């Protein structure tokens, strides 16, 4: 069961609902579901499995007709915000599972490492970036690297995103704007690469791992997404994360670092 911050989830949902133009019925239903999950929580440890909630209970928490509520439920499911198990009339209520934006494991991870999380990846860095990355990236060193999807925001973000740079202090307003720009760039890049926008959980994982864990520049994160798309990765999130890890282990955090690395590798060939 994860640790969930009630206020943080609501703030993030408000941003998401505004960005995605959620209907009022979708918002009301999400708030109602979060209220029920909060009631089932033990302190700050929230349920992450399915919870049965009667239609009567939900309708008492949000002023909607049943058909409107059912439609909003389907839309939230399609957006990847909830999962639903249908009920059985007069026998059992529908069951709901919330997909939290910022879940934190309530127990420390095992010491087994992540070896099983990245199947079919080469341990050789050259397989990912040592050569031309499968699309002549090296030939574009010094240029725009053949990718402009994220340029809308890259030039407005100097260095790392503020919350990922531990040595840099920014006020809350600047921090929030930078994070929103990064999120918008990642969503655009993911849609360009895979044809649909990332789910909230994927978006959060990319930002958390790319910016906070591996401290990569936003340009590198967009580049990783593009590579995963061009290579037809069967598990895009795992592939992108593996690139993050590879680049970080070779002290590659920015596009400039990557350009220098490719030049060195090319001279060695």
CA 153 to chain centre: 17
Q: Reading across the β-sheet that carries 51-52, which strands appear in turn?
A: 51-52, 95-98, 82-85
For 220, left (φ over 0), alpha (ψ -120 to 50), or beta?
A: alpha
Q: Do 135 and 211 belong to one domain?
A: yes
User: What does the pLDDT read at residue 158?
Assistant: 35
Q: For the segment 88-124, what is each residue's pLDDT rounded down to a tens digit?
A: 877 899 999 999 998 887 654 444 343 333 333 333 3
Q: Do 95 and 7 belong to one domain?
A: yes
Can you list the alpha helix ranges (DSSP code H) found in 93-235?
151-154, 172-194, 200-207, 218-230
Q: Is residue 110 part of a domain?
A: no
Q: Do 120 and 23 belong to one domain?
A: no
Q: Rounded to the nearest 5 degrees, what angle is found at the Cα of 220, between the Cα atoms of 199 and 4?
A: 40
Q: For the segment 65-77, what is each residue's pLDDT rounded down to a tens digit?
A: 999 999 999 999 9
Q: For the segment 222-265, what is each residue's pLDDT rounded down to a tens digit?
A: 999 999 999 999 999 999 999 999 998 989 999 888 888 888 87
Rounded to whole angstroms, the Cα distance separating 87 from 113 reads: 38
Q: In whole angstroms, how far apart are CA 71 and each of 17, 57, 66, 179?
A: 16, 17, 9, 31
Structural domains in the chain (count) = 2
Q: Do 42 and 88 belong to one domain?
A: yes
Range of the domain at 9: 2-105
In 3D space, the residue among 109, 80, 97 whose CA is nearest the CA of residue 201 turns out to be: 80
Helix, strand, or coil (residue 177): helix
Q: Do 142 and 264 belong to one domain?
A: yes
In 3D space, the residue among 242, 246, 244 whose CA is nearest the CA of residue 117 turns out to be: 242
Q: Do 91 and 222 belong to one domain?
A: no
Residue appearing with tokens 């302190």:
43
Q: For the segment 205-228, what is each residue's pLDDT rounded down to a tens digit?
A: 898 888 888 889 898 999 999 999
Q: Is residue 128 part of a domain?
A: yes
Rounded to whole angstroms, the Cα distance separating 153 from 181 reads: 6
Domain boundary among 105, 136, 158: 105
pTM of the model: 0.46
Q: Do 101 and 119 belong to one domain?
A: no
């Amino acid at each position: 069961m994860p640790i969930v911050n009630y206020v943080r989830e609501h703030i993030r949902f408000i941003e998401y609902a505004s960005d995605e133009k959620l209907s009022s019925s979708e918002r009301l239903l999400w708030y109602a579901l979060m209220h029920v999950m909060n009631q089932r929580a033990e302190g700050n440890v929230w349920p992450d499995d399915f919870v049965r909630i009667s239609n009567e209970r939900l309708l008492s928490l949000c002023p909607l007709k049943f058909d409107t509520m059912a439609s909003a439920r389907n839309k939230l499911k399609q957006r990847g915000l909830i999962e639903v198990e249908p009920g059985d009339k007069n026998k059992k209520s529908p069951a709901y599972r919330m997909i939290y934006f910022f879940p934190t494991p309530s127990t420390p991870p095992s010491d087994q490492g992540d070896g099983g999380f990245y199947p079919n990846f080469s341990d050789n860095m050259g397989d990912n970036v040592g050569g031309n990355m499968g699309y002549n990236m090296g030939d574009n060193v010094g240029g725009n690297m053949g990718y402009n999807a994220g340029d809308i925001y890259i030039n407005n973000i100097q260095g790392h995103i503020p919350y990922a740079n531990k040595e840099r202090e920014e006020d809350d307003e600047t921090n929030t704007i930078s994070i929103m720009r990064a999120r918008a760039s990642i969503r655009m890049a993911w849609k360009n690469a895979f044809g649909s926008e990332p789910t909230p959980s994927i978006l959060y994982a990319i930002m958390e791992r790319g910016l906070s864990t591996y401290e990569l520049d936003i340009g590198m994160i967009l580049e990783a997404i593009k590579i995963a798309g061009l290579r037809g990765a069967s598990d895009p999130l795992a592939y992108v994360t593996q690139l993050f890890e590879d680049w970080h282990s070779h002290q590659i955090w920015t596009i400039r670092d990557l350009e220098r690395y490719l030049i060195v590798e090319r001279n060695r060939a």
